[in-house]
Amino acid sequence: MINIALVEDDDITRRSLCDRISSDADFRVVAAVGSCAEARSMLCNRSVDVLLVDLGLPDGNGIDVIAWAAYRSPQLKIMVITVFGDEKRVVSAIKAGAIGYLLKSDGTQQIGIAIRQLLDGGSPISPAIARHLIRLFAASETCESSTRSEPLKSREQEILSLAAKGFSYGEIAQMLRLSVNTVAMHTKTIYEKLSVNSRAAAVYEASRLGLLDRI
């Protein structure tokens, strides 16, 4: 059973999403809250596998919830469900730790499929959001190489490559014959070099800078 939590302030949308998610026998909605404060309290007291977050919340920005949740639980799968599709919010959400981004205008019919894609290591993204990201990648190609982040060492490259494929800290440690603590230390260094604070953001930034191409 997959435990799913939802952060959405609109009552009708929240109920609709809960109904759609609960229709899948493998999914269980363990909490559905409507504010940043409620989200933090809920995540401190619940075991959650997938977190769905709206960005426009009454007491703050959903991106802050994403960053807090990703830092506290690196293995948590986080997806945005919102009406906001501008490039600034998209990039901020991804850098904060979101690995999926759906627009409410796409409807809730495919939410179950999107959650399964998250669990399978994918990044479900609305077509309009994908176009934003393509434009951003294209623009990054015009940047001078001197603007790139500090190069990653070979061990850091190995760990980032395996992280990009969806392996956990424990699995990476076993594959590279390292301790979990060592993998965590290398990961922290990778985040610092790329100026990010989550796995999804590290993979995104490394791809944007062309670092993954060399792994």
pLDDT at 107 over 90: no
Q: Is the pTM of this model over 0.85?
A: no
Average pLDDT in the 185-212 region?
81
Domain 144-214: give its CATH code: 1.10.10.10
Helix axes 62-72, 36-45, angle to 10 degrees: 20
> What DSSP designation does 50 have?
E
Q: Where in the chain is the domain with CATH 1.10.10.10?
A: 144-214
The enclosing H or E element of 166 equals none
Q: Where in the chain is the domain with CATH 3.40.50.2300?
A: 2-129
CA–CA gap between residue 131 and residue 70 (Å, rounded): 25
Domain 2-129: give its CATH code: 3.40.50.2300
State pLDDT tens for residues 153-165: 889 988 988 887 7
Average per-residue pLDDT for the chain: 85
Average pLDDT in the 172-200 region?
89
State pLDDT tens for residues 29-44: 999 999 999 999 999 9
Per-residue pLDDT at 140: 54
Average pLDDT in the 65-94 region?
90
Per-residue pLDDT at 139: 54
How far the first Cα of the chain sits from its last, in Å, is 35
pLDDT at 147 over 50: no
pLDDT at 94 over 80: yes
Listed residue (29, 23, 22, 67) closest to 50, CA to CA = 29
